[in-house]
Structure 1
Amino acid sequence: MCFGKCAKCIGYQLLILAILCIVANILLYFPNGETKYAENNQLSRFVWFFEGIIGAGVLMFIPAGVFIGLEDDDCCGCCGHERCGKSCAMLSSILAAIFGIATSGYCLIISALALVEGPYCSTSDGGWRYPFNETNYSYLADHSTWSQCIEPKNVVVWNVSLFSILLGLSAIQVILCIIQIINGFIGGICGCCCGQKQQSYVC
């Protein structure tokens, strides 16, 4: 197995997931495609944590870029020793993977908290509040209670769908980064398969 190619594959997957997280987070600001709720600060407070835009989004570009470049990175020959350059680069990717776990983990936690708390909406009594805050997320299975939110229209479906997507995507990112930690450790210790035109070595 080529550890460098595996890391590159993980990097591209993280890149795609990061873009999807950014899109999902941006959509949370526009229930039903309307901007007035964001302008009036009538959105769930967890929307403003930028978990998908920054956490699992922009910051995820860093480890993704590191992983994508690993196949051709020899870590400057590892201080002049060309033979151990690939191993050095693979081991250094572990730090990028840990960083990726931290950023995607942030998105995962915030998304889970947002699902537990439920959306911020206008209820039948005319006030804006979190009507599902005390339900211990049981509202997720009891769709009959969703009618409590009158405005924005279908905000419960909107929030549950998008926060669930962010939760799932960030969980996949965490798993991919854990895989890269294992891949980087094995590749760093045992060497890197470099393809037919590059020198290959094992321990």
Structure 2
Amino acid sequence: MCVSRCLRCVGMSLVAMAMVCILSNILLMFPDLNIHFLLDGHVTIQAIWATGVWGSGFLVCTLDTGYICYKNTTCCWCQMKTRTSLLGAFICCIFSVTGLVQGPLCLYNSTSGQIWGVPLSHWTYLYNRTVWSGICLEPRNVVQWNMVLFSVMGAVSGLQIVLCAANMLNSMLGMILGHGSCRTKVCVSVFCVCEDREGS
């Protein structure tokens, strides 16, 4: 079995980042740590789609073994897992940015009374702290809640995209330059090279 220590570190880092995205998305579905907002449908669609759970979460977690080159693992399999993880992280990043720009779903005062909606529908609210606590009545501190968690998800999924894309690009270059192919047991990474050795 051929195991590269630095590739294992990259894989474990991606798993840790996936756990952060999963936890952040779960918290987004329970603003004010109260389940009744979710049951009543008062949670933004970006949180309901749970891209942090299945996109930057479980899909990226499956890539952990892709960064550890086993004896019977081909580079084609590693690249397929990398592409899947890259797609999941990309979707999560897009949904996180959209949720951050759109603002939270909350109860606020309108001309027709108190209604549920998205009153902060323009990204400029991110720089105007005076509206953070003055517009949304429920859930409490939902603006800060969404800002922090969507920002964390967006940043982490963005880092996942960089790591997955760099690995995929370098693997493709390695195959083109002859350092690895789908018929060999050599996997080339941007971080280090792990190759099969007899008797290991």
Contact 2:85 2:164 in 1 (8 A): yes
RMSD: 2.3
1:163 aligns with 2:161: no
Distance 1:185 1:11 in 2: 19
Amino acid at match of 1:190: H
User: What is the 5 A alignment of 1:37-76?
Assistant: 37-68=37-68, 70=69, 72-75=70-73
1:128 aligns with 2:127: no
User: What is the 5 A alignment of 1:158-197?
Assistant: 158-185=145-172, 188=175, 189-190=178-179, 192=186, 193=193
Question: Normalized per residue, which structure has more helix?
Answer: 1
Question: Which residue of 76, 89, 93 corresponds with 1:104?
Answer: 89
Distance 1:186 1:6 in 2: 20
SS in 1 for 2:197: coil
Distance 1:160 1:142, change over 3 A: same
SS in 2 for 1:32: helix
Distance 2:119 2:65 in 1: 42
Question: Structure 1: 5+ residue runs without aligned partners?
Answer: 76-88
Distance 1:3 1:58 in 2: 23
Amino acid at match of 2:91: Y
SS in 2 for 1:128: strand
Deviations 1:117-154 (A, max 9, x none): 10000113311110011x2x010111111220111010
SS in 2 for 1:109: helix
Distance 1:3 1:114 in 2: 39
Q: Give 1:14 shift.
A: 1.2
SS in 2 for 1:198: coil
Q: Give 1:4 shift.
A: 4.5
1:152 aligns with 2:131: no
SS in 1 for 2:119: coil
Amino acid at match of 1:142: N
Q: Give 1:63 shift.
A: 1.8
Partner of 1:140: 126
Question: Normalized per residue, which structure has more strand?
Answer: 2
SS in 2 for 1:150: strand
Calculate the TM-score normalised by the size of structure 1: 0.79
Partner of 2:189: none
Partner of 1:33: 33
Paired residues in the alignment total: 180
Deviations 1:2-60 (A, max 9, x none): 99444333221111111111111011122222111111111112111111111111122
Contact 1:101 1:173 in 2 (8 A): yes
| Percent identical residues | 28
Distance 1:65 1:148, change over 3 A: same
Contact 1:3 1:184 in 2 (8 A): no
